[in-house]
A = this chain, B = another copy of it.
Amino acid sequence: MANETIEWLGNRLRILDQTRLPQETSFIDLTDYRDLALAIKQMKVRGAPAIGIAAAYGIALGAQSIRTSDKEEFFVRLEQIIQAFAETRPTAVNLFWAISRMRQAATGRNVPQATKALLSEAKRIHQEEIAATRQLSLLGADLIKDGFRILTHCNAGSLATAGYGTALGIIKAAKGQGKNIIVFATETRPLLQGARLTVWELRQEDIPVTLITDSMAGYFMNRKEIDCVIVGADRIAANGDVANKIGTYTLAVLAKENCIPFYVAAPTSTIDVSLPSGTAIPIEERDSREVTHFQGFSIAMEDTKAANPAFDVTPHNYVSAIITERGIIRKEYQEETAGLGRS
Query: For chain A residues 131-163, which have a beta carbon within 8 Å of chain B?
Result: none
Counting every copy of the chain, the complex holds 2
Contact pattern, A 162-202, Cβ under 8 Å of B = 1, otherwise 0: 00000000000000000000001011111010011001100
Known: A213-B214, A291-B212. A219 touches B309 (CB 8 A): yes
Contact of A253 among B215, B257, B291, B306 (CB under 8 A): B257
A218 to B217, CA, bound (A): 13
Residues A189 and B211 in contact, CB atoms below 8 Å apart: no
A306 to B196, CA, bound (A): 13
Residues in B whose Cβ lies below 8 Å from that of A306: 210-212
Report the stretch among A1-9, A59-67, A230-238, A244-252 that lies at the interface.
A244-252
Residues in B whose Cβ lies below 8 Å from that of A214: 189, 213-215, 247
Residues in B whose Cβ lies below 8 Å from that of A23: 298
20 additional A-B residue pairs with CB within 8 Å, beyond A195-B304, A196-B300, A218-B253? A186-B215, A190-B213, A192-B299, A199-B300, A200-B300, A209-B304, A210-B306, A212-B307, A213-B291, A214-B215, A214-B247, A216-B246, A216-B307, A216-B309, A218-B249, A219-B249, A220-B307, A222-B312, A257-B257, A297-B297
Is there a chain B Cβ closer than 8 Å to A274's Cβ? Answer: no
A215 to B184, CA, bound (A): 16
Known: A199-B301, A199-B304. A219 touches B312 (CB 8 A): yes
Is there a chain B Cβ closer than 8 Å to A22's Cβ? Answer: yes
Residues in B whose Cβ lies below 8 Å from that of A338: none
A299 to B188, CA, bound (A): 11
A254 to B42, CA, bound (A): 31
A23 to B139, CA, bound (A): 51
Is there a chain B Cβ closer than 8 Å to A292's Cβ? Answer: yes
In the complex, which residue of chain B has the Cβ closest to the Cβ of A218?
Answer: B250
Q: How far is the CB of A258 from chain B (nearest CB, A)?
A: 9
Residues in B whose Cβ lies below 8 Å from that of A208: 305
Residues B209 and A305 in contact, CB atoms below 8 Å apart: yes
Is there a chain B Cβ closer than 8 Å to A69's Cβ? Answer: no
Residues in B whose Cβ lies below 8 Å from that of A211: 291-292, 300, 304-307
Q: How far is the CB of A310 from chain B (nearest CB, A)?
A: 10
Known: A189-B189, A219-B312, A295-B294. A301 touches B203 (CB 8 A): yes
Q: How far is the CB of A212 from chain B (nearest CB, A)?
A: 5
Residues in B whose Cβ lies below 8 Å from that of A249: 218-219, 222
Contact of A250 among B188, B195, B254 (CB under 8 A): B254
